[in-house]
Structures are given as structure tokens and as C-alpha cells.
Amino acid sequence: MPEFLQLLPPQNALDRLLVALKQSRGDSRTLDEEIDLSRALGRVTVEATHAPHPLPSFPRSTVDGYAVRAADTYGASDALPAYLTVIGEIPMGRAAGIDIKPYECALIHTGGMLPESADAVVMVEHTQGVRPGEIEVLRAAAVAENVLEIGEDVSAGQEVISAGTLLRPAEIGGLAGLGIVRLRVAKRPRVAIISSGDEVVPPETDIQPGQVRDVNAFTLSALVQDAGGEPVYYGIVADEADVMEATAREALESCDLVVITAGSSASTRDLTATVINRLGTPGVLVHGVNVRPGKPTILAVCDGKVMIGLPGNPVSALVIAGLFVAPVIRNLLGIRTERPKPALSAKLTLNLASSAGREDWIAVRLIKSEHGYLAEPVFGKSNLIFTLSRADGLVRIPPDATGLSVGQLVDVSLF
Amino acid sequence: MPEFLQLLPPQNALDRLLVALKQSRGDSRTLDEEIDLSRALGRVTVEATHAPHPLPSFPRSTVDGYAVRAADTYGASDALPAYLTVIGEIPMGRAAGIDIKPYECALIHTGGMLPESADAVVMVEHTQGVRPGEIEVLRAAAVAENVLEIGEDVSAGQEVISAGTLLRPAEIGGLAGLGIVRLRVAKRPRVAIISSGDEVVPPETDIQPGQVRDVNAFTLSALVQDAGGEPVYYGIVADEADVMEATAREALESCDLVVITAGSSASTRDLTATVINRLGTPGVLVHGVNVRPGKPTILAVCDGKVMIGLPGNPVSALVIAGLFVAPVIRNLLGIRTERPKPALSAKLTLNLASSAGREDWIAVRLIKSEHGYLAEPVFGKSNLIFTLSRADGLVRIPPDATGLSVGQLVDVSLF
């Protein structure tokens, strides 16, 4: 049987991981904390917010004009205007404080509060001064015309933001409008990053023949920050089970998710799985995923915490972290509002071959053309980190395709 | 002449602003600072980076197998294998330290350093043990097969990242690979946010009839953070020229960009322009933009700094800030690598009307369907902030269209 039939596709592998996490831990969400609204961008709510009062909280004019009783303007036209007495000006930021009687009106500004006895606003453009204290209304106003009514945005008690919402500027504005300046959000999951490999050295090292710098700790930290987690770096461990186990155990104590990037040799790849199985149950759930790059991925749950073993080469590690580490962080944050992921539609500039049954991810550069974007594959062996820095995003070749054709429209997931 | 013919379209208005900024200030970029690579995500480089050495810096094996002299394997096949003597194992993380003579080979792991006397690697799958110390090679290897050569990713001295690059995980990884752990980036532009309007009160206030809370300070702060700037809040000023001028002058001193959201009444909208013209030259460049929402936008340059007057209503303010404040921040950051903006292609669920000659932005909710996304307009008067929180993004109706048709494919700019 070909190997790819024994390996899980990425989505199934992720599902298996998340199901096991839930079984092992119950509610998988991290703890929560209270923060100021001014620091809420990109954070995730842990409880629903209900409006403490309606918005707007008073009837507001949406134009500059005159607050009127609509009935007084019925039938008004250029030829046959309605005449109204101006009895005052409604102040901004205070109760209207004016009582409009039949055939009376008051000057009102955009955002001003409509007096109780008025029920519409005539735009200033549809009026004409006659003499001081009197106007002609040239067009009839319907009841509620040019008025935001109480509760037209949200009514009192209405759920305005649900639990598990990733907060964007609009939600933050809505909360400000309701006077909610402190709120409870999910704590950023702590994500341990452990590098391994006898050839791997810290980036500040003056490298010797045979040594490579630890690229993955940096790319993964950046990806974790971007996904809403807090990276915690545990350094480079030697390719020895006991050493790796001690570090991973320490990381499991204080972190929600532990990511180990393997050394690149076969022996150290197996080492990660061995160590993970010592650290808790159920242990390794998936060893090998039907995807390129990134086949040797390891997914595990140890006593309620997720451990992920990533391939050591930088490009595979980054692609696979996007497929597994970022979704686990979102799961731990309790994000329930899955918003569409940004992607751009583009035309392939080349044929791309792929093995049927395997999911492939290809780095592409986007080129603007007259008829939209072109996606040009950026080829490079998967060990070359600068291959990715020349790319704008990734194109997925689904497992049921044997490739994609030149000119075909593809969705590019932007980095 | 209809008003829209006198107003500039948004893109022309932005161009006019940026040209005036350059004339007034020369190089418009903000100052720069040196930071750690671990904090570089989303920052912008101010100088080009050249590789201090090639990557990889030594020839590396991309597979587990045997380092060989390719010529020794020529003609090898299952039927007629080549026989090689295994003279040792290449250690990880050190110089190979082994000299391969004709018909010899050495065990090598993925990422291991190729000895100088070898020129290819045979995958372990294409070999077979014969007796201890000897293997059969079942397939010929070409020179450089399964080898990453010195400089195959980048060569010494090559420019790897240009000035003005927004740093993503891939670039951060590339810098780590080159041992560059400190770098100079553009300082985050300081963006002053001033709210005005006699009806506007701080969000923590228990509102009285006629009052509304300051929503814009929060939405704009979030947008500024997202665009890479540092928001600095100057509070709510009364609708009086002298008061607004004093606050704006203080803000101009210590910030790179000053944003004033107007009170909603016509008088205060004009106030902003009057005050800006007192603060420096050339002053107001654009007063009114041909876009909905957001027509009363003001764009200005005062003695080398940008000032932007935004409409007071929260939805207009946020849409317009996306069109003007965010691009000015990117300009101040010196971003030169304009990457494609994330957008999703979706089918409109309704006809949308628009005035010819005016650019309209419509908030839409995205609904996943069998055949891709549907874009459903979220209607609501432009004063309703929760309208935006129910939406996923905006659809642009270009000025030369009189609307968009149901079923038409549109690009949705995600929030």
C-alpha cells in the first residue's frame, strides 16, 4: 500500500488532535483575564456582552435642519410650502428642553436630541427662511424621517458581542459606545518552543562548518505572536532523550502548548515521538501527515496539553505551524467566530504537478497584471528559508488533484 | 455642476496629500531605532540587509543516505549494483572530517556536511546492506544530487532584504539564519487622536440625554495599532477654535500625524478646517472627498506633518481612516514592498445602487456557500457602529459604476 494511504490528510489530523484535546481536558480554553478596552484589539471575549442600555439612547437627528411635527408638513411643496415658527435651537449634548407645539419647529444639528413633541427632522436644504423666526418647508417629512430612533442600533439587553469573538476595531467601538471599558478576555496561550538537533546553534553564534543557526525558534515565535499566543523559548536541546524529556516536562508545566522542532536526521525525528510518549497520555496521536512539505509532523496530547513535533527544516516547520500550531492557539483562545481567511484569487503561471492523494503547499509570488493577479511558483528546496521571503503566500494542491494547470484560478493564502 | 464633480476621488485625494507631505518634509519617513530580532514582527526595515556569508555555508545533505563520489555509482541498477565500502559516519554539527576515496562512502544524515571529496548523496532507500562495512547502490547518483550547495539559498554579499520591507515570519527566519539578531527599523509613527463635539463624553461616563460616548477614539486607536502606529489620545475638546487649536498644536509638537474627529454638526465640521489652517502651511489641501460614507473628510499638511479631519460618525470615521490614516502611517513607516491586500472574492446577494461619479463603500457579511462566498450587504445608517461589527468587510463601488448587480463577483476587503 502506498505510504500516503496510511497517512492522515492535514484536516483530519487536526480534527483528531482537537477531539483528543477536548476529551483529555474538557473545556480546552485557557484562563481569562480582565483588560482595558484600549488594549483589546485582537483579543478574544470569554463571555457574551449585552447592551446595558439602548443605542442610540435618545432620538438623534441625522442631518442639520429643523425638528418638526411631521403632520405639520404634509402636502408641503415648492409651490405650496408649509410655514413654521422657529421657537429656538436645540443645544448639542443636552436634553432638547424645548416643547414643539403645532406649526412650530426648532433648529437642530446632526446628532442633536429630538424633542419629545417632535417626530421628524426636515433637512435645512428643504427649507427657506421667510423672516426672522419663520421658515417655509418645501417638502413633506414622514414620521421618523432623518431621525435615529432609540435602540435603532441595539436595544437594551440585546446580545451585541458573543463569547469567543476576536475583537476588531468595530467591536471595540461598539463597546466604547456602550460604556464598557473593562472586559474579560482569554489569556494568550503560552506556547513553548524547543529546538533540537546537534547541528543547531543559537543565532548569535559565529558558525563553524557543519553548524546551522536556529531559524525555527524565530519564525515560530513570530507565527505564535501573530496567532495570538505568547511564545516562550526553551532553547536548543541536545539529541538525547533524557535531555529533551527534562526540558519538555518543564515546558509542559508552565505552558499550554509545547512545540518541538526536530533535528533533521531520522534518529532525532524518532526521538521526539519517544520523548512525547513518556510525558503523558494519550501521547502521540498522529505521526506523519499526508502533506508536502511537512510529512514527519507529530501531533500529541499529554494529560490535557498539546504537543506538536515539527520537521526541522525551516520552510516545512513554518508551513506546518500554519496548519497546526495556529489552529490550536485559536482553539485555546476559544475563538468561535470563524471569519473567512484572507486569500487572493490569482492565475497560475505554470503547471504544477502533485502526487494524487497528497496535499501540497506551494509558495508563490503574486504579480499584478491587467486582469488581476498572477501566481508564480517560487521554487526552492524546502530547506531554503529565503524561498519564503520571496513569496507572498501559499497555494494548496488538494489531495484529489494530480496537479494544477497553467492559467487555472487558485486561492493564495497570504502570509 | 453636481457636487461630486468638484470633489476629488479618494485615491487622488490621498496622492495629493502624500505629494504635499513629501514637498513639505523631504524624506517623509519617521526616525528609526535598533531592536531585537525577536521583536521584529510587523516592523519595517530602514536599510538593506546583505548576507554576511553564503547560506548554506557548507554543502549539506537533504536526505539520510551515503555520501559518495557520483562517478562511482554511474550505471548502477537493481540488476547491476555498485559496491561501495562504508568508511564511517559523518557527525552532525561538525566538519565532515572524512576523506572519501574511490569506491568508498560514508553514512550521512539529513543536514549533515558533505566531505570535500564527495559530490553526491545516495538515499538510503536506494541502497542495500551487503555485509558490515559494504553497501550495494541500486541507482546512479548525479553530481550534486540530494545536496544543498554552498550559497544555494543566498550568496555572500547578496541583498536579501531591501529597505522598507514589512517583516513577516519568513524574513525574521532568514535574518536568524544569517546571524543578524539586532536590526534597525522605522519607529512607530506617533498618531495623535483628538475628539471634538460638545455632545461627546468619555466612554466611562454615565451618559445624560443628548450625550454620546467617544467611540472614535477607540476605533481609531485600534486601527492605528493595526497599521503599525502608536496612538496617543489627546481627549475630547470643546467646539471652540482656541481650545481645539491649543490641543492640536501640542499634538503636532510630539506626533507625526494628527487626527481630529469632528463633532457632527456643520459648525464644528468647519471648525476643524479653520483650526488646521492656523497651524502651519500649506494647511488644508482637500476639504470634501467624493466617497460615501465620509464626504466631509479634511486632508492637510502643516509644516511637514499630516493632519486629517474625520467625520464624527463612527462608521464614516472608521472607513475613512482605512482609506487615509492607514496609508499615511505606511508612508511614514517607509514601506516600499506593497504586498497585495487580502481580499475575498464573493457573489453579491442583492443589487446595490450608487451615484455615478462617487465611490461607495458598503459593509458586507460573508456567507459560505457551496460555490464560494456570498456577500450580503449589512445595511444600517452610517451612525450605527454595530452595523460594522455584524460585517466581515467592505465592498467598493467604483465611481464609474452606477451600482453592482446581484450575483456579480466582488472583492471584499476584510476588516
Greater model confidence, A223 or A270: A223
Our CA-based measurement puts residue A134 at a distance from the nearest CA of chain B, in whole angstroms, of 21
pLDDT, residue A264, reads 57
Q: Which residue of chain A comes nearest to B209, CA vs CA?
A: A95
Angle between helices A326-333 and A10-25 (to 10 degrees): 30
pLDDT, residue B385, reads 87
Which residues are CB-neighbours of B39 under 8 A, at least 6 positions away? none
pLDDT, mean of residues A345-371: 90
Cβ–Cβ contact A94 with B under 8 A: yes
Work out the burial of residue B355: count CB atoms within 10 Å of its CB; fewer than 13 is exposed, 13-18 middle, 19 or more buried: middle
Which A-chain residues 122-141 have CB contacts (< 8 A) with chain B?
A: none
pLDDT, mean of residues B402-413: 90
Any bridge partners for residue B361, and if so which? B396
8 A C-beta contact, residue A144 and residue A315: no
State the DSSP H helix or E strand holding residue B273, giving kind and residue range, or none if neither.
helix B266-279
Q: Which residue of chain A comes nearest to B316, CA vs CA?
A: A170
Q: How many CB atoms lie within 10 A of CB A263?
A: 26
Q: Is the pLDDT of residue A354 over 90?
A: no
Any bridge partners for residue B388, and if so which? none
Do B222 and A366 count as a contact with CB atoms less than 8 A apart? no
pLDDT tens, position by position, B146-189: 999 999 999 999 999 999 999 999 999 999 999 999 999 999 99
Give me chain A's average pLDDT, please. Answer: 92
Our CA-based measurement puts residue B184 at a distance from the nearest CA of chain A, in whole angstroms, of 16
Cis amide leading into A10 (omega within 30): no
Q: What is the 8-class DSSP label of residue A153?
A: S
pLDDT, residue B357, reads 82
Q: Is the pLDDT of residue B395 over 50?
A: yes
pLDDT bracket for residue B382 (50, 70, 90): low
The CA radius of gyration of chain B, in Å to the nearest whole number, is: 31
Closest Cβ opposite residue A174 in set B111, B263, B386:
B386
Any bridge partners for residue A257, and if so which? A191, A306
**Lowest-confidence segment of A299-308, B67-76, B398-407 by average pLDDT:** B398-407
**Lowest-confidence segment of A180-184, B93-97, B330-334 by average pLDDT:** B93-97
Which residues are CB-neighbours of B95 under 8 A, at least 6 positions away? A208, A209, A210, B58, B113
Cβ–Cβ contact A111 with B under 8 A: yes
% pLDDT > 90, chain A: 78
Which A-chain residues 390-409 have CB contacts (< 8 A) with chain B?
A: 391-392
pLDDT, residue B1, reads 40
Our CA-based measurement puts residue A258 at a distance from the nearest CA of chain B, in whole angstroms, of 18
Distance CA B236, CA A307 (A): 49
Closest Cβ opposite residue A172 in set B212, B218, B373:
B218
Q: Is the pLDDT of residue B353 over 70?
A: yes
Q: Is the pLDDT of residue B264 over 90?
A: no
pLDDT tens, position by position, A396-410: 999 888 889 999 999
Which B-chain residues 226-255 have CB contacts (< 8 A) with chain A?
A: 226, 233, 239
What is Dmax (Cα atoms) for chain B? Answer: 95
pLDDT, residue A382, reads 64
**Lowest-confidence segment of A206-215, B110-119, B376-385 by average pLDDT:** B376-385
pLDDT, mean of residues A380-388: 79
Q: Is the pLDDT of residue B412 over 60?
A: yes
Is pTM beyond 0.95? Reply is: no
Q: Which residue of chain A comes nearest to B233, CA vs CA?
A: A38
| CB < 8 Å to A213, chain B | 176-179
8 A C-beta contact, residue B365 and residue B267: no
Cβ–Cβ contact A181 with B under 8 A: yes
Q: Is the pLDDT of residue A118 over 80?
A: yes
Give me chain B's average pLDDT, please. Answer: 92
Our CA-based measurement puts residue B41 at a distance from the nearest CA of chain A, in whole angstroms, of 6
pLDDT bracket for residue A5 (50, 70, 90): low
The SS3 call for residue A169 is helix
Which A-chain residues 342-381 have CB contacts (< 8 A) with chain B?
A: 342-345, 366, 368, 373, 380-381
- Residue in B49, B174, B161 with CA at minimum distance from that of residue A386: B174
pLDDT, residue A387, reads 85
pLDDT bracket for residue B339 (50, 70, 90): confident
Q: Which residues in B250-392 belong to E strands, given as ranges?
A: 257-261, 282-287, 291-292, 298-302, 305-310, 343-348, 352-353, 359-369, 372-377
**Backbone CA torsion sign across B327, B35, B32, B245:** positive
Q: How many CB atoms lie within 10 A of CB A78?
A: 10
Q: Highest-confidence range of A92-96, A104-108, A196-200, A352-356, by mean pLDDT?
A: A104-108
Greater model confidence, A339 or B133: B133
pLDDT tens, position by position, B217-252: 999 999 999 999 999 999 999 889 999 999 999 999
DSSP B294-327: -TT-EEEEETTEEEEEE-SSHHHHHHHIIIIIHH
Which residues are CB-neighbours of A194 under 8 A, at least 6 positions away? A234, A235, A237, A244, A247, A248, A251, A258, A259, A260, A261
Distance CA A258, CA A272 (A): 12
Greater model confidence, A265 or A47: A47
pLDDT bracket for residue A28 (50, 70, 90): low
pLDDT bracket for residue A339 (50, 70, 90): confident
Our CA-based measurement puts residue A320 at a distance from the nearest CA of chain B, in whole angstroms, of 13
DSSP A212-264: EE--HHHHHHHHHHHHT-EEEEEEEE-S-HHHHHHHHHHHHHH-SEEEEEPPS
Domains and CATH numbers, chain B: 3-31+187-333 (3.40.980.10), 34-55+156-186 (3.90.105.10), 60-148 (2.170.190.11), 343-414 (2.40.340.10)
Q: Is the pLDDT of residue B28 over 80?
A: no
pLDDT bracket for residue A1 (50, 70, 90): very low
Work out the burial of residue A371: count CB atoms within 10 Å of its CB; fewer than 13 is exposed, 13-18 middle, 19 or more buried: exposed
3-state secondary structure A381-402: CCCCHHHHHCCCEEEEECCCCC
Do B208 and A95 count as a contact with CB atoms less than 8 A apart? yes
DSSP A24-84: HHSS----EEEEEGGG-TT-BBSS-EE-SS-BSSS-EESSSEEEE-GGGGTT--SSSPEEE
pLDDT tens, position by position, B31-53: 999 999 999 999 999 999 999 99
